[in-house]
Structure 1
Amino acid sequence: MMTDQKRTEHLSFGPVELEITDADRSVAFWRDVIGMRVRSSAESIALGTETETLVILHPVATSPAVKGHAGLYHLAIHVPDEGEFARILARFNEKRHYASAIDHIMSKALYLSDPDGLGIEITLEMPERVREFRTYRGGVELIDAEGRTRQFSETLDVGAVLAALPDDDISRPLASGTRIGHVHMHVGNLEAASAYYAKIGFIPHLSLPSFGFADLGAGGDYPHRIGLNIWQGLYVEPAPAGTARMRRFEIRFSEPNGMAKSLEKTSAYAIEGMENARQDPFGNQMVLTATG
């Protein structure tokens, strides 16, 4: 049940690090299509907004992403308002870059891939549009704020989105306040992966074994912070070295004690030689930091 008062989340995300094949091609994509600024460039390239790094590129891969493995399904870039979401969609149209446009009711989303085939979602959070979730044996349905039953994925009204465009400057870089809002991963077992991320501190929200999907939140009004699926198969191995893939992502704790407890609970998943780093049972790596 959604509430009128926004609740504080205890977990958030820092940058997502990607291993890619071609630095120039990927930088052009993230800068000119997505709208990120290049924040630093050396052996790796940091991109994001004027105030925040969102993606770090490591040009070490020798081949594009491959299917049939655990790893990144998509990283999700959450924008601060409808105008920014409309600006990105208009830029995609101007660049003739295809994106799948979906209305999830609790959010509006654009799905696309980077030049190496790594998944990206552009998200506008709209939890105020949802009254409640209902799960049943065959799946899940949403009851919207007006009491209507809605599907979890509906076709996005692109015209209505573009009507919110505040001006004609579609080349403007991503606004401050844009952030990594969730990470969705392929895993080899939903129960094991959900249990692991619960130890990190995420809160189970949906478990849909018939769809091969599970969802966990971070304590706020928007429930989708970690997505898990088994759509690449059961007990799949991590993506091979040398292929484009996610290297790791950063989880930020609002309280140092929360990070310390999570590190203790997941000590069996420590990565040797990396401080405060963990990997889930299927090789997805993360580093834990405290912002408080």
Structure 2
Amino acid sequence: VSGIWGQRFTEKCLRHGAEVVQLVKEAGLTPSYDEIAKVLEEEKPQVLFLCHGESSSGTKQKLDGVGELCAKHDCLLVVDTVCTLVGEPFFADAWGIDLVYSGAQKCIGCPPGLSPMTYSDKAYEKVMNRKTKPDIFSFDVTEVGRQWGFNGDKRPYHHTPPINIMFAMREALQIVSEEGLEASWNRHLNAHYQLWEGLDKLGLKPFVKNPEDRLSTVNCIEIPDGVDAPRLIAHAYDKYNLEISGGLGGTAGKVFRIGLMGYNCTPRNVESVVTAFEAGLKEQKWL
């Protein structure tokens, strides 16, 4: 847990009666391979959860080798890719990840309302061999699977799908396909570099100190001493019709957050963000 989304996952597990052991890191840091290995060895968990992109603190979790580590301990690896799928390199099969969930509205660029998920064979087998039924019928993937036709011979009614959003998702994925996955990764990374080149010239500093741990899709900027953050945010919105976010959870009051995802991730939009920061800092006579 290094931010609000790890905390939220913990809360959800606790509400379902799970026994949770947290590996807590300060906001802006990520757990190392060795720290993860130590926890797996000592606690012997059934599931390890990691957030690939912790958008509340702007960190990117290294995943290479963790899947093999989990397999060694007969532990399922669950990864949150809500703000990274299509925006950051991600290899579910090669990295041995058992369950992945994401969001439609971030880098994929679809309206919100869907959560794409994928299961490894091991995770799917685990779900299908449950000894008890899930306590929420609507979220029972075995029932959902019957309606979608990947579980059982018949397709009984389970719920009315949001068809309009599904057509939107199909179009969004078509756009991703036309651009190409690697091209999309590079576009997000180049926007990240462009943003920090501009912010560095203004004297602004990244909240995540290790460049390897920085998300390209959600960028966290330290609020400098002497800067009124709400005033700068309001100035950007009023003068430039541009929304700059504040921190979440442990980073509230400490950072600005800039999302460069999907359609928003263009050189022109990055220029607008840098211009708004420059104007807001000058308005406060910080520059």
Which interval holds the TM-score relative to the shorter structure?
under 0.3
The two structures have a TM-score, normalised by structure 1, of: 0.24
Tell which structure's C-alpha radius of gyration is larger: 2
Structure with greater contact order relative to length (CA < 8 Å, sep ≥ 6): 1
Q: Going by fraction, where is helix more abundant, 1 or 2?
A: 2
The two structures have a TM-score, normalised by structure 2, of: 0.24
